[in-house]
Amino acid sequence: MGLTASKNTYMIKDFSSNPLCGSDKNRQVDILFIVFCLWLLVLMCRPQDIFPFLSPLRPALVLSIIVFIVLIFRSHDLIQKLFYQERQNKLFVYMVFFMILSIPFAIYRRSSFEFVFTVYSIVILFYYLFYGIVDSINRLRTVILLGCIGNGLYLTYSVATGTMIGGRLFFGDMFDANDLAFYALSFLPLNLIFISRDNSKLIRVACLGFFIVGMLLILLTGSRGGMLALATVIAVALCTKSRVISRPLKGFVISLSIILLFFAPANSERFNTIFNLEDDYNLQAETGRVAIWKAGLRIMFENPLTGVGVNNFAEAIGTDRQRRGEESLRWQAAHNMVVQIGTETGIIGMTLFLLMSMNVFRILGRARKESDSGQLAKIAEMGRLGFLGLFVSGMFLSQAYSIFWAFYISFSAIISRIMSQEKTEQYTDKINH
């Protein structure tokens, strides 16, 4: 696809021969794209967990600085007003504004300030660069493929070398078992984009293998939220008409699910509690998740405009329990990303978060049905399933500020922009003919 728009918009090009090498006019941006891909692998696929000798080198921080420097000196053309023409981008900026606004009213201002301007600033930069650099379907496919490979290798290494504790798989210090399942779900359906015959045999085999490993890992983690999310993704995939998942592939997924359920060394007793929740501590105990969610929502309505400050949920719960004479109970995380962001940034912050999440489903659903590009339609379809798994599992985890959530918000904004360019191209063709 080639489209030259007005000087206030991007030139969308599909460099099918080599996604890393564009024309001479785009060479500066291509350098940034290569650095961005390396940065993505470090941020989202964490090779430093697999190779511990990399950790002292601080690869995430070093590459963040390099990316920022290259952005300043080599890619002035990325700073355009077009960024604000996409609704997702506007909403994201507004959410960041409310995160910053919460700092002066936070229970611990220093904690909020440091989180927003050190930890989350990396996510903000990633979001902006992802949207600004990935300006074609081919580049989007490249980024997704790199993510699938990096994610798949991490999951494979986790299954091979991880430790089973209490019947649950743990690996490294970054993720606990529940977070590991969330991490697997974030890329799991995207692997299916690359198993068709228009990809090389090596890529097809690798992505299919990573899909199988991802399903196995979710079972081994014993994550009930991860299991519910996986079941939801599989049910939606099997019950809807698909451009990617053919009938034979659906049969394969069903067979694989049955085999893993019966033969994987998973903690079946833990999963059985999903169907017997009346005695579960999460429903009954003061330290259970339902009680935490209720407390978080109550605190949000007590602080509707600014919340209690980013990264202050546990402190808010602890303070609330002390006020009610429950000092002996431990302070706890939200275990629900919607409750987390609502409690920490207020009702408006939570509303923005939910609007962006709903827009992902809306944008990708429209692209799946309306795009002229078969490749874009397939990417949108699997991206929708990937975000569904991420969102469902995130309803049981404190992942409101996850880079994987931000990835999908920017991902949807990119697809929306490409769809707009397709419409512009169609209109231009009609005028010319």
364-410 residue pLDDT tens: 999 999 888 889 999 999 999 999 999 999 999 999 999 999 999 99
- As given in the structure block, the two tokens for residue 109 are 């201002």
Higher pLDDT, 330 or 104: 104
Per-residue pLDDT, averaged over 104-118, amounts to 95
Does the pLDDT of residue 358 top 80, yes or no? Answer: yes
Using CB atoms within 10 A of its CB, is residue 1 exposed (0-12), middle (13-18) or buried (19+)?
middle
Average of pLDDT values for 5-34?
Answer: 47
- Residue 294 burial (10 A CB sphere; 0-12, 13-18, 19+): exposed
pLDDT at 8 over 50: no
Q: Tell me the pLDDT tens digit for each residue of 54-67.
A: 888 888 888 888 88
User: 3-state class of 171 per DSSP?
Assistant: strand
Torsion sign, CA atoms 370, 424, 16, 45? negative
User: Is the predicted pLDDT of residue 14 greater than 60, yes or no?
Assistant: no
Q: Is the pLDDT of residue 328 over 70?
A: no
In single-letter form, the type of residue at position 428 comes to: T
Sign of CA dihedral 272, 275, 277, 278: negative
Buried b (16+ CB within 10 A) or exposed e, 47-71: ebbbeeeeeeeebbeebbeebeebb
- Cα distance between residue 255 and residue 251, in whole Å: 6
The number of beta carbons lying within 10 Å of the beta carbon of residue 428 is 13
Give the CA dihedral 123, 126, 128, 131, nearest 10 degrees. Answer: -130
- N-terminal to C-terminal alpha carbon distance within the chain: 18
Per-residue confidence (pLDDT) for residue 56, from 0 to 100: 83
Average the pLDDT over 21-28 and give the result: 42
Tokens of 99: 């995160």
- Closest to 350 (Cα-Cα) out of 359, 358, 341: 341
* Distance separating alpha carbons of residues 428 and 430, to the nearest angstrom: 5
Q: What are phi and psi of 254, to 5 degrees?
A: -60, -45
The amino acid that residue 24 corresponds to is D
What predicted TM-score, i.e. pTM, was given to this entire model? 0.88
Among all chains, which residue has been given the structure tokens 């202050």? 312
Residue 22 confidence (pLDDT) above 60:
no
Among 221, 37, 355, smallest CA distance to 229 is for 221
pLDDT tens digits for range 266-285: 777 776 766 666 666 666 67
